[in-house]
A and B are shown apart, each in its own frame.
Chain A
Amino acid sequence: MLIFEHSIAGRTGAPQAPKVKAAIDDIPATLLRKNSAALPEVSEMQAVRHYTRLSQKNFSIDTHFYPLGSCTMKYNPRACNTLAMLPGFLSRHPMAPEKQSQGFMACMHELQSMLCEVTGMAAFSLAPMAGAQGEFAGIAMIEAYHKARGDNERKEILIPDAAHGTNPATAVMCGFSAREIPTLKNGDVDLDALKQAVGPQTAGLMLTNPSTLGVFERQIETIAKIIHEAGGLLYYDGANLNAILGKIRPGDMGFDVIHSNLHKTFSTPHGGGGPGSGAVGVAERLIPYLPLPVVEHKDNSYRWLTEKDRPQSIGRLSAFMGNAGVLLRAYIYMRMLGREGMVRVAEFATLNANYMMVEAKKRGFELAIPDRRASHEFIITLKNEARDLHVSAMDFAKRLLDLGYHAPTTYFPLLVPECLLIEPTETEAKEVLDGFLDALAQIREEAKTTPELVTGAPHTLPVKRLDDVRAARQLDLAWGSNNG
């Protein structure tokens, strides 16, 4: 039932609003609403019960193993939430005077510094509100950098074909065209193709390392050299930073600008789709272009840098200061982990992924890149199962839900047919990983003996497989309206 279907005219959560409706007699009637908005009319308890019950229809990290590749679904420590929601933080107005904001600003300044340290970049801005906005800021900075040098012919951003869809979409949003660079079978970038692609039109290259194929790009130094010699800049997509935290830093690999998904590596919650944070870091030469605001520490106090301090900044990305509450959660997480804990993140994420990869192979699954170490994630291709047993990666994914596991990322990266991209993260225990692999093997047995169990899955969830085609053809996007 929808909340609207619980609605009874005249029933309200009255105690939550002012007692009386103040008269509005100084505003022309033509500017006022004639009929009340059709919102549900329910009691507070009805709302609480409805949304509690709805929550129980979700899989989440707190309830299930959630090995979504490239999404880093690790445990979100509860302390991060509790402490970021202290009243002193929640009640701070974004434009409160600096003098009355030093506690918050200290956290932000230290977060900037810690991000510099773990990534090897010279400076950070916390302004971007998600990974894609971090990418936007990064590419806009590359554009501003070339422009400031009078280098106006660089119209192209190079992007490996294994990249996230946000990369090409971002390049285009910033006014560039996106050119794809092929990937070799072993997962590395095709250097010959790259050499042919670079030129005076190259503004930069966007690279995820380790890549979405779950392997470390071994030729990174050569790639950096090729791009830099062509006059381009190197952009690091930090989606997979979890794999290398404390082991190798993007700054040391030669990257000029990076974004870090704090909702992945630094464990802020995914919240059913967001909010995230895509803090951006830069090498020395790009500091003037960083998006605002940035916190500075000077003479024992913290202050915001503005357009006056940074006239070449690409500007603002939000009305205020990005997703401040998310930034506080990341700060708390980093302080709890500390220098020892952060190194362990990459170590145990990589241990878990490599263990699963070997165990998956033992159980007869084909690996997309069999001869290399996995990073924090790896790929199984189910093309043999699809050919011989007529079950798809999607069928495996749906049947996993029945068995109590969230599905890995399916059909991404696009290069690998019938693939599952599996990222266990460091916070999962060995017995959970074993259980998941047993489930995968069980599904393959079912596909042989009782295939309808697999192709008809899920069977035990609140709904069976849903009709996506109907959803797109007979649009129903809001209750009470027929959007046909």
Chain B
Amino acid sequence: MPFIPHTEQEVAEMLQTIGADSIDNLFEEIPSHLRVEGLPGIPAGLPEMDISRLMHQRAAQHPQTVCFLGAGAYEHHIPAAVWEITTRGEYYSAYTPYQAEASQGTLQLTYEYQSMMTALTGMDVSNASLYDGASALAEAVLMAVRGNRKSKSRKILIPKTVHPAYRKTTHTIVRGQHIELCEVDYDRATGTTGLDAFKAQLDSHADITAVVIQQPNFFGGLEAVDEITDWAHDNNILVIAVANPLTLAVLKAPGEWGSVGADIACGDGQPLGAPLSSGGPYYGYMCCKQALVRQMPGRIVGRTVDLDGKQGFVLTLQAREQHIRRSKATSNICTNQGLVVTASTIHMSILGADGLEKVASSCHANTVSLVNQLGRIEGVSSAFAGPCFHEAVLQLDRAAADVLLALAEKNIQGGYDLSEDYPELGHAILVCATEMRTEEEIAAYADALQEIMAVTRLKEVTS
């Protein structure tokens, strides 16, 4: 029997001990008319050999493509050691470290993770992870509402340059708590959110609880983080930074934005050691200032000592959490993304700051090179003026979906079609070239796009 060790004789002995005639007797408290007789709709079991064959076939249905698609999930090199160590049974098959003395491995690793994230973000404290970047932003919004006692409005300013899926997720999660998410429009010329757009939202009658700033923003544009942060703090508004943590190896850390830094930083940890894997599991990181630590959702590991005064690690500040505080908890979160954090911690250790800086700057250089080459093609141009980092928006002279489909036929994932989320941009795509892309691949993309754009328009597009 798969994964069940009992012999027939053992079953008989155990039933005799219990005093039951059969295993079926053990279910006698369940009303018999509600019982089902088996699960005929489930296929018969497969031995490992057969499921292996099936899964290889399924995986082979995905063609090998060259990926210029980012938009929140990025293809990076992950050292082989990262997942070799992460999938050791001692990490892989352990539970949440509630029994601290029997979980020092996971606990110390998590403390090291928290230390690395505070170093990258320039913030005081980090939690042990949330589900993903989008849901982390939702939690950050809820945390800001709890944390900003000077504000009564429960109004949050969210620029349109924040990842559209993050905005949607945040809407879903905070909706029940009477929080108003106010969209802030961006400058069509630069693809960034000017300070004036924020100011316009703050009229003399309303107060605002928090602003969200994504850096680099969804378009790859660079927001004026210092000015916006200082303006927000002058008006008793908390600042929530959303950042791809890899880019923080070279970009200014949220903890250093403006004169006192952002109050909360969050984002998706995927670029630090998690494979693309169809969108998950990734993890949401969350860091904040010391003053907000008791408003933080999720688990936090602290360093302490044992009876002999020896260093050890425990889950701490648990009075914030649902298993203690129940309906008054800071969040309902229980399970987090511990195993991906394990991978990420090992990843950051192996690459170090120097390695991450090289990866991030190489992503930037490759994207700049890609944009330059594609921008020379007729019918393709940069959508925005001004610097961008890691990602960029290209304007096309015809429907983006058609172009991306034609590229897909050549096994090139050409980018993210922006027309649904940003119809005002017309035919636009978001592209990125990580450190994984070679000069040859970038040139091949340019050649393919050149070929596609040279074809006479198949259909007249109106917009």
Contact = CB atoms under 8 A, between A and B. Distances in A.
Contact of A344 (B1, B15, B67, B176): B1
Contact of A427 (B5, B29, B57): B5
A48 B111 contact: no
B115 A463 contact: no
Contacts of A263: 335
A421 B42 CA distance: 32
Residue with the greatest number of chain B CB neighbours at <10 A, chosen from A102, A271, A341, A481: A271
A44 B339 contact: no
Interface in A99-143: 99-104, 106-107, 113-114, 117-118, 120, 129-133, 135-136, 140, 143
A405 B55 CA distance: 35
Contacts of A57: 103-105, 108
A104 B316 contact: no
B132 A81 contact: no
B31 interface: yes
Interface in B87-127: 87-97, 99-106, 108-109, 111-112, 114-116, 118-120, 124-126
A113 B2 CA distance: 22
A36 interface: yes
Contacts of A462: 101, 104, 312
Given A63-B89, A467-B306, A86 B104 contact: no
A318 B135 contact: yes
Contact of B177 (A42, A173, A341, A479): A173
Given A95-B73, A317-B135, A355-B17, A135 B332 contact: yes
Residue with the greatest number of chain A CB neighbours at <10 A, chosen from B128, B322, B404: B322
B34 interface: yes
Nearest to B416: A95
B102 A131 contact: no
A184 interface: no
B158 interface: no
B115 A479 contact: yes
B58 A104 contact: yes
A334 B59 contact: no
Interface stretch (B147-155, B201-209, B249-257, B452-460): B249-257
A273 B106 contact: yes
B165 A316 contact: yes
A25 B278 CA distance: 34
B126 A62 contact: no
A255 to B, nearest CB: 12
A453 to B, nearest CB: 14
Nearest to A163: B326
Given A165-B326, A320-B279, A16 B249 contact: no
A336 B2 contact: yes
Given A56-B105, A58-B102, A169-B322, A270 B334 contact: no
A323 interface: yes
Contact of B334 (A52, A131, A428): A131
Given A131-B335, A318-B132, A358-B17, A466 B176 contact: no
Nearest to B329: A169
A160 interface: no
B52 A175 contact: no
Contacts of B108: 2, 54, 57
A165 B36 contact: no
Nearest to A412: B323
Contact of A319 (B3, B34, B133): B133
Given A130-B334, A168-B327, A336-B45, A18 B304 contact: no
A281 interface: no
Given A18-B362, A100-B62, A427-B3, A470 B304 contact: yes
Contacts of B119: 37-39, 478, 480
B43 A338 contact: yes
Interface in A380-398: 397-398
Given A169-B329, A339-B42, A477 B23 contact: no
B168 A165 contact: no
B55 A332 contact: yes
Interface string A10-40: 0011101111111110111011111011111
A18 B359 contact: yes
A379 interface: no
Interface string A339-353: 111111011101110
B226 A342 contact: no
A117 B88 contact: no
Given A36-B357, A38-B119, A316-B168, A173 B332 contact: yes
Contact of B105 (A58, A97, A476): A58
A332 B51 contact: yes
5 smallest A-B Cβ distances: which pairs? A338-B45, A62-B89, A320-B279, A88-B59, A271-B339
27 contacts: A16-B79, A20-B358, A31-B387, A36-B357, A60-B89, A87-B59, A91-B276, A120-B36, A130-B335, A140-B175, A169-B332, A175-B175, A270-B96, A272-B338, A275-B335, A275-B340, A276-B335, A315-B169, A318-B132, A324-B280, A339-B44, A406-B99, A427-B3, A427-B4, A464-B308, A477-B303, A478-B115
Given A79-B51, A337-B3, A372-B29, 18 more contacts: A12-B352, A17-B435, A39-B356, A84-B55, A93-B67, A94-B279, A129-B280, A131-B335, A165-B334, A169-B326, A169-B327, A170-B332, A173-B176, A218-B30, A323-B281, A406-B102, A426-B4, A472-B317
